[in-house]
């Protein structure tokens, strides 16, 4: 893992999250990294759709058309390069497969 997702931090969980390896002596470990495995390209419309699915009612919680949220999406649109600009991103993902004899 190259980083921890922010919603798994102390602020979200109430305690520190520390990754722990439990590899015993003599166990075989193979690590394969492909940073493009979960790569996507989205424009601002796709990001808004993602937020509406991930956080249903996120705008309604602050009132429809909430100025702060709209302002953040406007800022994001500018940073991304406009409404139709597509930017690539990757999801941090760890897949652990293990057996013990």
Band of pLDDT at residue 19, cut at 50, 70 and 90? confident
Q: What is the pLDDT of residue 84?
A: 94
pTM of the model: 0.56
What would the pLDDT profile of 35-89 be if each residue is shown by its tens digit?
777 888 999 999 888 888 877 776 666 555 678 888 889 999 999 999 999 999 8
Closest alpha carbon to 19 in 80, 100, 94: 94
Band of pLDDT at residue 1, cut at 50, 70 and 90? very low
Residue 85 has a CB neighbour count (10 Å cut-off) of: 14
């Amino acid at each position: 893992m190259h980083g921890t997702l922010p919603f798994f931090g102390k602020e979200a969980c109430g305690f520190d999250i520390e990754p722990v390896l439990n590899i015993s002596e003599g166990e075989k470990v193979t690590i394969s990294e492909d940073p493009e495995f979960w790569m996507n390209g989205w424009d601002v419309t796709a990001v808004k759709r993602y937020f509406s699915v991930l956080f249903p009612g996120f705008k309604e919680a602050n009132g429809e058309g909430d100025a702060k949220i709209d302002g953040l999406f406007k800022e994001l649109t500018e940073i991304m390069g406009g409404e139709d600009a597509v930017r690539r991103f990757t999801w941090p993902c760890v897949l652990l497969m293990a057996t013990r004899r």
